[in-house]
């Protein structure tokens, strides 16, 4: 207890040094500082306290207190704490200092707050991130006075490859038969070497946060959250539910938390197997691709057995889950896992001995540890660069505190290291499921009666297959007042500039695939009305990384 007090005291002292104030609630430290001290406070948290930067959240709090706010979310992984650094912004001229010089990973979230809320960040070069170039000036969709269904009259702008550079330009996307989602990269090459890269995203921005804050109840948002991603949607619905439950201080039945962790690990296994198959295909080893996807079917069977669906399970609710695991399902799951583990280990032993797999993946797409730290990358991308972090262990949630597992970490930072992290994690996930099934307690699976007070804050990180999902909630009347979602790919894409630079062009597809990018997670489809017809317009934010 004395050690915990010393840890918390340092955050209280930090807030006082910055002329602000601090409060502590559960595992969350709330620090409020004046805007002129924001950069200094963020720098101290990131560089001196070595907190992990996750994302920033812009909020229109004018109906509550007359201000806009920006909240930078950090996590103190060594001490299991969330640290929220907040400042208030005058509504007449909403400006706040940028923290990107001290915390480079804040680049995208600052520009998203600029687009969607109209908050200007001083001390940096601004650019459009989410909204298209022709979006009406002064119209910021996440402001509370903008209706969710308002459709401005705008014209789509064609996306063209830059012709001003002396180097060759290789466009990838946004639509191509080889791409599973809209994504657009411009690779600048000299001969066969990549010298620079630009990325343009948010082609399918769906406005889910606005929808969750206006049209849906707390329980309905669970099902919207699960549709953020077609691969790891259960991570998003779990993250949202946990954030709301934390804000409302709900005592969720322990059995429900065990079921959540079990299904989360089933989803991790199927996601990693899917990625390994794709990686083998990109490497030209299609035999490995087909065998990996063949054994992945065992995992999809498990998902359907436990939830009723192969994907988009729909079992999460605020207060617990909708489906139980009986003894028959438990025994069948253990039986399938034993068969899966044996077959998986035999397959991986063969696949990793294939010469072209190791040769093409080794030494390519290197992300040095210092760059990974600076850019606040997530998941296997971080762990392959020597960063030992995993929210399941560092910020335990659901039932992970009852499981013992190893967090695989490699130091090479190359494509092979990112592959090996996932290879090792698959075995650990199988062990976690077996442990939790053995320890699962009896009891209810859903909290029947509860209340969600207004004006409470909840933030949760859930370790998805690609890295930490972050959901931030401010509670409102019957629905979230503010709901912020950040997927891990959002943090990992900027690192591709480091990973691709000075690399052979032939290795670019594997390097891009190595972060397991999910663009539907990262983007959110915007519908606009033009000439009386509803049309899907391609958004060309033109961001640079």
Q: Return the CATH number at 274.
A: 1.10.645.10
**How high is the pLDDT of residue 261?**
98
How far apart, in Å, do the first and last CA atoms of the chain sit? 44
The secondary structure of 295-334 as a DSSP string is: HHHHHHHHHHHHHSSSS----EETTEES----HHHHHHHH
- Report CA torsion sign: 56, 61, 62, 66: negative
Task: Among 97, 122, 147, give the residue marking a domain's end.
Answer: 122
Same domain, 91 and 231: no
In whole angstroms, give the CA distance from residue 69 to residue 100.
17
Considering its fold, how many domains does the chain have in total? 2
Residue 387's CB is within 10 A of a number of other CB atoms, namely: 22
Domain of 99: which CATH number? 3.30.460.80
User: Is the residue at 351 inside a domain?
Assistant: yes
Q: Which neighbouring-strand residues pair with 484?
A: 472
CA dist 29 and 303 (Å) reads 36
pLDDT of 545 reads 34
Averaged in consecutive runs of 10 residues, what is the pLDDT profile of the chain (545 residues)?
Answer: 73 94 94 97 97 98 97 97 98 97 97 96 93 88 92 69 65 67 82 88 81 93 91 94 98 98 97 95 93 96 95 94 96 96 95 92 96 97 98 98 97 97 98 98 95 97 97 97 95 94 90 84 44 33 32
Tokens of 466: 């690609």
Among 122, 152, 173, the domain-final residue is 122
pLDDT of residue 74: 98
pLDDT at 163: 52
Residue 179: per-residue pLDDT: 62
Last residue of one domain, picked from the residues 122, 148, 183: 122
Same domain assignment for residues 430 and 290: yes
Residues 249 and 394 grouped into a single domain: yes
**Does 477 reside within a domain?**
no
Domain presence at residue 346: yes
351/387 Cα distance (integer angstroms): 26
User: Considering only CA atoms, which of 539, 497, 545 is closest in space to residue 130?
Assistant: 539
**CA distances for 144 relative to 61, 117, 156, 244, 354, angstroms:** 8, 9, 26, 21, 56
Q: Is 283 exposed, middle or buried (0-12, 13-18, 19+ CB in 10 A)?
A: buried
**Measured torsion, CA atoms of residues 439, 421, 243, 471, in degrees rounded to the nearest 10:** -160
CA distance 335 to 321: 24
For residue 113, give every residue at least 6 positions away whose Cβ sits within 8 Å of its Cβ, in sequence order, or none.
Answer: 56, 57, 58, 70, 119, 121
Measure the CA–CA gap between 323 and 330, rounded to whole angstroms.
Answer: 13
Whether 178 is covered by a domain: the verdict is no
φ, ψ dihedrals at 249, nearest 5°: 55, 50
Same domain, 114 and 258: no
Query: What residues does 200 pair with on adjacent strands?
Result: 184
Q: Are residues 269 and 396 in the same domain?
A: yes
Q: Cα 337–339–345 angle (5° rounding)?
A: 95
Report the pLDDT value the prediction gives residue 166, as an integer from 0 to 100.
67
Q: In b/e form, how buried is each residue of 143-175, taking b as 16+ CB within 10 angstroms?
A: bbebeeeeeeebebeebeeeeeeeeeeeebbbe
d(CA 179, CA 161): 18
Predicted local confidence at residue 162, as pLDDT: 55
The two tokens of residue 517 are 């990018």
Residue 105, domain extent: 2-122
Question: 309 and 426 share a domain?
Answer: yes
95 and 227 part of one domain = no
Is 309 a domain residue?
yes
Asked whether residue 318 is domain-assigned, the answer is yes
User: 108 with 242, same domain?
Assistant: no
Amino acid 544: pLDDT: 32
Residue 140 forms part of a structural domain: no
pTM metric for this prediction: 0.92
- Residue 133 to residues 65, 156, 209, 444, 453, Cα–Cα distance (Å): 32, 9, 21, 52, 40
Tell me whether residue 112 is in a domain: yes
């Amino acid at each position: 207890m004395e050690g915990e007090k010393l840890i918390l005291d340092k955050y209280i002292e930090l807030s006082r040094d910055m002329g602000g104030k601090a409060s502590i609630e559960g595992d969350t430290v709330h620090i409020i500082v004046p805007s002129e001290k924001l950069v200094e406070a963020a720098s101290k948290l990131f560089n001196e306290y070595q907190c992990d930067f996750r994302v920033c959240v812009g909020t229109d709090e004018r109906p509550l207190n007359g201000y806009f706010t920006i909240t930078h979310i950090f996590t103190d992984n060594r001490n299991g704490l969330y640290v929220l650094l907040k400042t208030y912004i005058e509504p007449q001229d909403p400006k706040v200092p940028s923290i990107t010089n001290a915390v480079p990973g804040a680049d995208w979230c600052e520009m998203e707050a600029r687009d969607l809320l109209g908050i200007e960040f001083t001390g940096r070069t601004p650019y459009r991130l989410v909204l298209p170039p022709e979006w009406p000036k002064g119209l910021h969709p996440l402001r509370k006075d903008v209706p969710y269904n308002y459709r401005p009259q705008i014209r789509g702008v064609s996306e063209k490859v830059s012709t001003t550079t002396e180097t060759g330009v290789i466009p990838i996307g946004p639509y191509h038969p080889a791409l599973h989602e809209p994504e657009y990269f411009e690779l600048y090459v000299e001969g066969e070497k990549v010298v620079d890269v630009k990325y343009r995203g948010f082609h399918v921005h769906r406005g889910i946060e606005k929808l969750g804050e206006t049209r849906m109840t707390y329980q309905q948002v669970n099902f919207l959250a699960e549709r953020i991603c077609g691969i790891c949607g259960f991570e998003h619905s779990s993250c949202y539910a946990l954030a709301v439950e934390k804000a409302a201080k709900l005592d969720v039945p322990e059995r429900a938390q065990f079921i959540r962790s079990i299904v989360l690990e089933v989803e991790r296994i199927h996601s990693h197997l899917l990625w390994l198959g794709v990686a083998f295909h990109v490497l030209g080893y299609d035999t490995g691709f087909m065998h990996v996807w063949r054994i992945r079917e065992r995992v999809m069977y498990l998902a359907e057995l436990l939830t009723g669906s192969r994907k988009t399970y729909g079992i999460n609710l605020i207060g617990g889950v909708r489906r139980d695991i009986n003894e028959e399902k438990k025994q069948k799951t253990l039986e399938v896992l034993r068969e899966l583990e044996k077959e998986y280990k035999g397959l991986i032993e063969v696949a990793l001995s294939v010469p072209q797999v190791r040769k093409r993946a080794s030494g390519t797409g290197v992300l040095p540890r210092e760059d990974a730290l600076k850019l606040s990358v997530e998941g296997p991308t971080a762990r392959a660069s020597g960063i030992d972090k995993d929210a399941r262990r560092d910020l335990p949630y659901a039932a992970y505190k009852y499981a013992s597992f190893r967090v695989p970490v490699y130091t090479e930072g190359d494509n092979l290291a990112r592959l090996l992290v996932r290879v090792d994690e698959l075995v650990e996930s199988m062990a976690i499921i077996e442990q939790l099934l053995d320890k699962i307690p009896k009891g209810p699976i859903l909290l029947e009666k509860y209340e969600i007070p207004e004006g409470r804050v909840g933030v949760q990180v859930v370790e998805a297959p690609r890295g930490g999902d972050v959901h931030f909630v401010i509670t409102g009347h019957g629905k979230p007042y503010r709901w912020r979602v950040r997927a891990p790919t959002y943090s990992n894409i900027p690192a591709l500039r480091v990973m691709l630079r000075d690399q052979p062009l032939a290795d670019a597809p594997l390097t891009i695939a190595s972060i397991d990018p999910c663009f539907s997670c990262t983007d959110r489809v915007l519908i606009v009305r033009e000439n009386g017809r509803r049309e899907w317009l391609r958004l060309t934010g033109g961001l640079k990384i």
